[in-house]
Amino acid sequence: MNRRNFIKNSMLFAGSLVAIPSLIVSKKAYAAWPKKSFDIKDLTESVSSVYGHSNLEESSKVKLKAPEIAENGAIVPINVSTTLDNVESIMIFVENNPQPLSSGYKLTSLSEPSIGTRLKMGKTSNVMAAVKSGDKVYTSTQEVKVTIGGCGG
Amino acid sequence: MSTIKMRSKESNGVVTVKALIKHPMETGQRKDKKTGDLIPAHYIQEVHSKANGKDVITIYWGPAVSKNPYLTFKYKGNKGDNLEISWVDNQGNRDSKTGTVK
Task: Summarize pLDDT for B8-47 with one digit per residue, the tens.
Answer: 999 999 999 999 999 999 999 998 889 999 999 999 999 9
Contact B60 A104 (CB under 8 A): yes
End-to-end CA distance of chain B: 22
B30 inside 8 A of chain A by CB: yes
pLDDT digit string (tens) for A95-135? 999 999 999 999 999 999 999 999 999 999 999 999 999 99
pLDDT tens-digit profile of B69-88?
999 999 999 999 999 999 99
- Please give the pLDDT value at position A28: 46
Sorted by where each begins, the domain ranges of chain A are: 1-32, 35-146
Give the 3-state secondary structure of residue A9. helix
Beta carbons of A66 and A80 less than 8 angstroms apart? no
Q: Residue A25's pLDDT is what?
A: 45
List, as one string, the DSSP characters of A109-125.
TTEEEEEEEEE--SSSE
Return the CATH architecture of domain A35-146: Sandwich (2.60)
Which of B56, B57, B50, B63 lies closest to B91 in space, CA to CA? B63
Q: Whole-angstrom Cα distance, residue B50 to residue A110? A: 10
Topology adopted by domain B4-100? Immunoglobulin-like (2.60.40)
Q: Where are the domains of chain B?
A: 4-100
Q: Which residue of A has its CA nearest to B78?
A: A110
Cβ count within 10 A of residue B39:
16
DSSP state at residue B66: P
